[in-house]
Amino acid sequence: MKSFGIWTPALVLAVDMDQFCSSVHATVTPATRKVAARIAELRHKQGMSQEALAKKAHINRVTLARLERAMHPPTLDTLEQITRALGVTLVDLVK
């Protein structure tokens, strides 16, 4: 079990990272996985690297990589930035 602690004068917090990560992954839905795959597919079709798309969408490359791997659901704002950068609509992401 991997864990780490955070100490503040008022609070000591120990976090079980395996449990935290599995609970985060539990919130990822099939729709999130579909959108994640579609973002990667559209990016590849346009011959763009993650770095190029992230820069064009004004998001962090690590954030884009995590979205494409469906590690967490994207916000609507992030999806809007990505669709603009790809020149597609939100509907195109769920086709």
What secondary structure does DSSP assign to the chain, as a single string? Answer: --EEEEEETTEEEEEEHHHHHHHHHHT--HHHHHHHHHHHHHHHHTT--HHHHHHHHTS-HHHHHHHHTTSSPPPHHHHHHHHHHHT--HHHHT-
Domains and CATH numbers, the chain: 29-93 (1.10.260.40)
Q: In this predicted structure, which of 8-12, 31-35, 37-41, 72-76 has the lowest mean pLDDT? A: 8-12
Q: What integer is the mean pLDDT of 74-83?
A: 96
Q: pLDDT tens-digit profile of 15-50?
A: 555 555 544 555 789 999 999 999 999 999 999 999
In this predicted structure, what is the pLDDT of residue 22?
Answer: 47
